[in-house]
Amino acid sequence: MNIPLSGWAPIVAGSFVFIGMIFRVLFFYNSSDAALIGVIPDDAFYYIQMARHRVSEGIWTFDGVSVTTGFHFLYGYILVFIYSIVGDINWRNLFLIIGGLASVFMGLSAYFTARVAENFFGKSSIMLAVAPFFTFTAIMQSTAMMESWLVLFFSASSLYFSTQDKDLSLSDTIWLFLLGVFGSLSRSDFGLLPGVVFSAFLISSLRFKSKSLKRSAIVLAGAVIGVFIILLQNFFISGHFSQGSAQVKLYWSALEGHSVLPVIGLVGSIFLPFFAKLGKWVQIAVLLSFPVLVVYSWRKFIKSKNRSNYYPSLILAFSCFFTVVGYVFFYRFNSRGANVWYSANLIVPMGIMLAAIGVFLFRKRLLIPAFLVLFGYLYVDKAKFLSIRWPHQIGMLRAGLFLKDKKFTKVAAWNAGIISYFSRIPVINIDGLANDEVFPYIKKNTLFDYLRSNNIDYLIDYEEMLKSEVYRKRGGYFDERMDRCLRSLYPVDAGSPKWSETELKLFEFIPNCK
């Protein structure tokens, strides 16, 4: 499969995205620990700890004791490969490696997205297509050390290669199939995009014949095989097919009510960088403009004399629209665990949707509106470009160093990633995201029994985890024994920024308390 290099505009777009991302990576790499730890989510250190154990002990575990399926296949094994080659690399140097890879792949993602927009909507639409890459929601993916940069790359590249109206060669078939496989291995829900694209070309095949139908079918077949690989791995590790962390998040969402609002917030942050600052009713009006514009575009197409010229662009536009809608409803079952890196599946189809809307509204007069929209994105997000999302996490780093000096043994935490990494001791994860065996206790509201049966002496986490009724119910410790048998000792975050107005403390279980 030859990757095209013709056309300067997509190359420029991809290069600008790469430059922006690598600048952010290098800025924080050369910043203080307090700044750097604030742009890497706690979940990233779950990955790091699991990869380290996988290399040293040959099993997927976070604490060295209980197995876990709470990771995404491809990124997990990339970390395993890095640790296998360079040994126990310092977290800063690992950040530089992953951040560099993320910047390159995000630049390539923008390039492929721009190529799709250029092919279907013209060169003037490129600025609209890559605009979502300049939102803070996308920018922070370069420094998050999560799997999102892989998801972005496979979304953009698979969309580009599957929508080409060209004959298939054997190498094309293999390449498209591998894109689907590795897309699912980067995130198991990747297959929604090729699935919707294939469905759209299949439905339209009665009126419009395109070789993209076969191409998208091959990507979809690869994505299905990728999911089977993940299910088999989960079963091999834990004896069950579903991912442990997915079960926990589904439980959280069911307990508090499945909601589309968190995902709509992500969609809004990509569609409009200042979405969060808008009032509730204005947000609703903005989101409703999507289907209104889709209907308007469809009516315009029906009245067009040259309908056949619009078929490919309309198929792509509707595919991306229904992909976004699909993710909104799919992620509602994970509404309490849909973090910002979940936006990786949304950025590419949102960019194509913006390009489509621009073309349908302005046609050949698109250049100036597209430039103004891109400039608006850049202007709104310029203040956030080097901002720190999790400033309180320096307290988690200091808490980890505290544990390292004290050399406690039986310690547990809900937010355990950073604390575990810097403590260099086994810290038991008790929210279930990196510990498959704790989930049954969470569902039965018997976490206390799990802690006692595992001889846990100390808990270390923010007071909010014990004060909040919501966290206690969803964490399986809405139990008076936790109040009676747990004693607060002292803060261990060295006066760091608070989380939910509470300090990070060490708690001790009272001996023989039941």
- Phi/psi region, residue 339 (left: phi>0; alpha: psi -120 to 50; beta: rest), is beta
> Looking at residue 289, what is its pLDDT?
72
Q: Which pair of tokens denotes residue 63? A: 């604490």
Give the phi and the psi of residue 383 in degrees, each rounded to 5.
-70, -25
Q: Which pair of tokens denotes residue 238? A: 């834990």
Alpha carbon of residue 478 to chain centroid = 30
Number of other residues whose CB lies within 10 A of the CB of residue 299: 10
- In a 3-state reduction of DSSP, which class is residue 368? helix
**Considering only CA atoms, which of 312, 310, 324, 378 is closest in space to residue 353?**
324
- Helices first, then strands: H and E counts in the chain: 24, 5
CA distance 247 to 379: 40
Partners of 413 in the β-ladder:
429
431-478: per-residue pLDDT in tens? 999 999 999 999 999 999 999 999 999 999 999 999 999 999 999 999
Q: Which pair of tokens denotes residue 444? A: 């039965």
Q: Which pair of tokens denotes residue 296? A: 């308007």
CA distance 402 to 408: 10
Helix/strand/coil percent split, the chain, to 5: 70, 5, 25
CA angle 453, 457, 462 (to 5 degrees): 110
Q: Which pair of tokens denotes residue 228? A: 């089977």
CA distance 287 to 283: 6
CA distance 168 to 160: 14
Beta strand extents in 261-413 (DSSP E only): 411-413
Residues whose CB is less than 8 angstroms from the CB of residue 363 and which lie 6 or more positions away in sequence, other chains included: none
Number of other residues whose CB lies within 10 A of the CB of residue 165: 12
Q: Which of 112-121, 364-373, 486-495 has the lowest mean pLDDT?
A: 364-373
> Looking at residue 302, what is its pLDDT?
56
Residues whose CB is less than 8 angstroms from the CB of residue 85 and which lie 6 or more positions away in sequence, other chains included: none
Which is higher by pLDDT, 283 or 80?
Answer: 80
> Looking at residue 17, what is its pLDDT?
96
CA distance 486 to 508: 6
Q: Are strands 458-462 and 411-413 parallel, antiparallel or unpaired?
A: parallel
With a cut of 60, say whether residue 3 has pLDDT above it: no
Average pLDDT value for the chain: 90
| 500 contacts 462 by C-beta, under 8 angstroms | yes
pLDDT band per the 50, 70, 90 thresholds, residue 309: low
Q: How far is CA 351 from CA 185, 358, 434, in A?
A: 23, 11, 33
| 452 contacts 412 by C-beta, under 8 angstroms | no
- In a 3-state reduction of DSSP, which class is residue 499? strand
> Looking at residue 266, what is its pLDDT?
86
**Considering only CA atoms, which of 332, 372, 329 is closest in space to residue 249?**
332
Instruction: Give just the sign of the alpha carbon dihedral 175, 177, 181, 184.
Output: positive
Quickly tell me which residue has 């999790």 as its tokens: 390
53-108: per-residue pLDDT in tens? 999 999 999 999 899 999 999 999 999 999 999 999 999 999 999 999 999 999 99
Beta strand extents in 261-331 (DSSP E only): none
> Looking at residue 104, what is its pLDDT?
98
pLDDT band per the 50, 70, 90 thresholds, residue 369: confident
With a cut of 60, say whether residue 4 has pLDDT above it: no
> Looking at residue 292, what is its pLDDT?
73
- Phi/psi region, residue 504 (left: phi>0; alpha: psi -120 to 50; beta: rest), is beta
Tell me the mean pLDDT in the region 281-303: 67
| 113 contacts 129 by C-beta, under 8 angstroms | yes
Predicted TM-score (pTM) of the model is 0.92
pLDDT band per the 50, 70, 90 thresholds, residue 393: very high
16-64: per-residue pLDDT in tens? 999 999 999 999 999 999 999 999 999 999 999 999 999 999 999 999 9
- In a 3-state reduction of DSSP, which class is residue 489? strand
